[in-house]
Chain A
Amino acid sequence: MLFTKAKLHIDDAIREWIDEQWPWLVEKLNMGDLAEHAIIEPTDEWFPDEWGPNREAVENLFARVVEYAEVEPERVSLELIEPQEEMPPALVKKDDKYVLPLEISELQSPAVAVAILSRKLALLRLMDAGLDMSRDDLPLLMDLACIVMGLGIFNANAAVPQVPR
């Protein structure tokens, strides 16, 4: 049975952290029964719009991700910016809206753009849920929230692994 034994590659503390945050996220993000939410895949079925280096394609992609993240579209807008030396803020509050800055260099891959936008929208939903933004585990929670929201495939494929503190 040596080769069939189920094995976890995370230690107990990490597993317990995920086990604790999971139901909390499901509740705070108002997900209800997760089985009733789609898991978004990098396919034409989910992203049927033609992709290209133009404003229309990016706006179409943004609209899809906003819809799949279950955020009201009138609350957010996209701002394409030149590559920055430092990482731009995830969200910028402008009047009654949140602007999502996205560096144009991130548009080389639509999957990466989806991953970045998903993470920003996960943060917005966590803010709506009243999450303490000073939490040390906020970056990890954003990753986990993307999975709970059904958008995690993009982040898992695009992200640089972050080790919990």
Chain B
Amino acid sequence: MTWPMYGYAFAKLALAHGEAKPAWLKHLREDTKVFTKQAIKWLKNQD
């Protein structure tokens, strides 16, 4: 998958865990981390 795809999928995983700011984000490479944070924000805006 591409990094933005990983970001979106990780965002879905974070929200499935009820975590808007998951601690495990720190382990992701920087670009994937940014895409994940943006996707979490986007998904939360869809609620």
How far, in Å, is A13 (CB) from chain B's closest CB?
11
Give B4 Cβ to nearest chain A Cβ, in Å: 4
Chain B residues with CB under 8 Å of A39's CB are 13, 17, 22, 24
Q: Which residues of A6-38 are within 8 A (CB) of B? A: 6-10, 14-15, 18, 22, 34-35
Taking the nearest CB of chain A, how far is it from the CB of B46, in angstroms?
Answer: 9
* A48 beta carbon closer than 8 Å to chain B: no
Question: Cβ of B18 and Cβ of A144 under 8 Å apart?
Answer: no
Whether the Cβ atoms of B38 and A8 lie closer than 8 Å is yes
Q: Does A41 contact B (CB under 8 A)?
A: yes
Q: Which of B5, B17, B27, B42 contacts A41 (CB 8 A)?
A: B27
CB-defined interface of B17-45 with A at 8 Å, one 1/0 digit per residue? 11000101001110010010011011011
B9 touches which of A42, A152, A161, A162 (Cβ 8 Å): A152
Interface membership of A157, Cβ < 8 A: yes
Closest to A39 in B: B24
Closest CB-CB distance, B25 to chain A, in whole Å? 9
Q: A147-B9, A153-B28, A163-B2 are in contact. List 9 more A-B contacts (CB 8 A).
A: A6-B45, A15-B8, A18-B8, A35-B18, A140-B1, A144-B9, A157-B28, A162-B1, A164-B1
